[in-house]
């Protein structure tokens, strides 16, 4: 069975809805307009218990900031949900009931955040100093510094906004994420290089970081090293043409949000290649049970993302230490 066959199993109403979403998207309607995120941020800042958000047809839905009773066993707080165009047009090839969920691009979801914290500010500081030293000596760091120094920027870069770099605090088993520490150290490195090479126009490069998993220890420590944590969606609203956006395998469609919201001066993020668009559903067997492996990803490319990056110069980042994976620097031409 293929995805194409799955479409033939859609009822007429669902098929019309799917076609409607695709038609609006192809006509250029943004999934993540700035005005919508600004209004959402305003409602959150005002402390409203009920949040009103427009869907793709500009119909308003109301969400509670308090976790509904039916979710209390699974969730402790709310978060903002962002649906990529792939998720909005999700079709499962084997189960008609799972084929197409009529989701809004932006909504309120409910989740459970870790309630433990075994780390201390002193511990974070000591670990960060050690990891940062190794990072600065790494080939990946030198490669990133070299690319930033050699690249031509059409506009001054005065701020860095980073997404999904992860918590620095210890988990309940005492483990830390070296990648998270390195990614935060990389923000420091990029800010230093941009200022030193004159790309910032003689100004200090402001650094903002947004991750829903930051806890109080994270916030206090990050502020102490000059990185300003922001609550969602403030990080997205900070982006302007003088911004470098940094993200590594985030759990939200950062690339598609940026493409709709504001094209920045530069990006350092997962390489855009369009391969996600070519992936197909594949049938697999596990312990004798059949299941389908789908093409969905949390930060997929899209036609808009691919179009956006044609206006940028791309340089792939060589990362022998595997701190980031497949990452590229994009500078606006």
184-199: per-residue pLDDT in tens? 999 999 999 999 999 9
Question: Of 1-10, 123-132, 273-282, which one has max mean pLDDT?
Answer: 123-132
**Residue 140 shares a structural domain with residue 205:** yes
Within 8 A by CB and 6+ apart from 126, the residues are none
Residue 180's contacts (CB-CB under 8 Å, 6 or more residues apart) are 165, 166, 167, 168
Interval 224-266: pLDDT, tens: 999 999 999 999 999 999 999 999 999 999 999 999 999 999 9
Please give the model's pTM, rounded to 2 decimal places: 0.90
Last residue of a domain, one of 111, 145, 163: 111
Q: Which domain CATH number covers 163?
A: 3.40.50
Nearest to 323 by CA among 145, 139, 194: 139
- Cα–Cα distance list, 69 to 35, 52, 66, 81, 189 (Å): 31, 20, 9, 19, 45
What 3-state DSSP class applies to 328?
strand
- 179 and 327 belong to one structural domain: yes
Residues 85 and 177 grouped into a single domain: no
Q: What is the mean pLDDT of residues 42-62?
A: 97
Helices (H) and strands (E) in the chain, counts: 11, 13
Q: Is 116 part of any domain?
A: no
Q: What whole-number distance in Å separates Cα of residue 118 and Cα of residue 175?
A: 10
Q: Considering only CA atoms, which of 307, 311, 317, 302 is closest in space to residue 89?
A: 302
Is residue 80 within 8 A of residue 106, CB to CB? The reply is yes
Among 63, 92, 111, give the residue marking a domain's end: 111
What's the whole-number mean pLDDT along residues 85-99? 68
Please check the confidence at residue 268 and state whether its pLDDT lies above 50. yes
Place of tokens 């009529």: 102
The arithmetic mean of pLDDT across residues 167-196, rounded, is 88
Answer yes or no: are the C-beta atoms of 238 and 41 closer than 8 Å: no
For the cut 50, the answer to whether the pLDDT of residue 288 exceeds it is yes
| Band of pLDDT at residue 296, cut at 50, 70 and 90 | low
Predicted confidence band at 15 (pLDDT cuts at 50, 70, 90)? Answer: confident
Residues 226 and 158 in one domain: yes
**Angstrom distance (rounded) from CA 14 to CA 329:** 40
Structure confidence at residue 93 (pLDDT) = 59
User: Which domain covers residue 328, as residue numbers?
Assistant: 121-332
CA-CA distance, 44 to 187, in Å (whole number)? 27
19: three-class secondary structure by DSSP? helix
In a domain, 145, yes or no: yes
- Mean pLDDT, the chain, whole residue set: 88
63: which strand partners? 51
Average pLDDT over residues 304-319: 96
CA distance 216 to 58: 36
Shared domain check, 148 and 65: no
pLDDT above 80 for 274: no
Give the helix ranges, DSSP H, for 9-48.
12-26, 34-45
The structure tokens 């995120």 sit at 37
Task: Say whether pLDDT at 5 is over 90.
Answer: no
Share of the chain above pLDDT 70, in %: 84
174 pLDDT above the threshold of 90: no
Last residue of a domain, one of 111, 136, 168: 111
Q: Which of 153, 163, 169 is nearest to 221 (CA)?
A: 169
Q: Are residues 57 and 136 in the same domain?
A: no
pLDDT for the residue 90? 74
| Structural domain count of the chain | 2
| Share above pLDDT 90 across residues of the chain, in percent, rounded to a whole number | 73
User: What does the pLDDT look like over 17-40, one tens digit per residue?
Assistant: 888 999 999 999 999 999 999 999
Question: What residues are paired with 268 via a beta bridge?
Answer: 246, 329
Residue 120 has a pLDDT of: 87
pLDDT at residue 1, rounded to an integer: 41
74 and 131 fall within a common domain? no
Q: Is residue 42 part of a domain?
A: yes
Over residues 76-95, mean pLDDT: 84
């Amino acid at each position: 069975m293929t995805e194409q066959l799955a479409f033939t199993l859609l009822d007429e109403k669902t098929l019309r809805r799917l076609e409607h979403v695709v038609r609006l998207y192809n006509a250029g309607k943004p999934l993540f307009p700035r005005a919508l995120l600004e209004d959402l941020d305003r409602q959150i800042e005002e402390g409203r218990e009920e949040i009103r958000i427009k869907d793709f047809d500009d119909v308003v839905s109301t969400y509670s900031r308090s976790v509904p009773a039916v979710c209390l066993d699974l969730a402790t707080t709310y978060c903002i949900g962002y649906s990529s165009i792939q998720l909005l047009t999700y079709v499962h090839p084997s189960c008609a009931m799972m084929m197409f969920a009529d989701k809004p691009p932006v909504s309120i979801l409910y989740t459970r955040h870790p309630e433990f914290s075994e780390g201390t500010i002193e511990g974070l500081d000591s670990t960060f100093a050690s990891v940062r030293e190794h990072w600065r000596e790494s080939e990946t760091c030198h490669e990133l510094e070299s690319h930033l120094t050699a690249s031509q920027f059409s506009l001054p870069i005065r701020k860095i906004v980073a997404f999904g770099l992860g918590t620095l605090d210890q988990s309940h088993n005492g483990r830390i994420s070296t990648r998270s520490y390195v990614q935060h150290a990389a923000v420091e490195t990029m800010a230093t290089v941009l200022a030193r090479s004159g790309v910032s126009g003689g100004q200090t490069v402001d650094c903002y970081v947004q991750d829903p998993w930051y806890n109080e220890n994270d916030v206090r420590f990050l502020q102490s090293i000059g990185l300003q944590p922001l609550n969602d969606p403030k990080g997205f609203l900070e982006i302007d043409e003088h911004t470098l956006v940094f993200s590594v395998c985030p759990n939200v469609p950062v690339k598609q949000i940026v493409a709709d919201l504001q094209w920045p001066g530069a990006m350092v993020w997962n390489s855009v290649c369009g391969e996600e668009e070519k992936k197909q559903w594949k049938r697999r067997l596990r312990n004798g049970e059949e299941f389908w492996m789908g093409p969905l990803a949390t930060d997929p490319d899209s036609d808009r993302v691919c179009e956006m990056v044609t206006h940028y110069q791309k340089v792939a980042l060589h990362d022998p230490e595997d701190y980031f994976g497949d990452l590229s620097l994009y500078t606006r031409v």
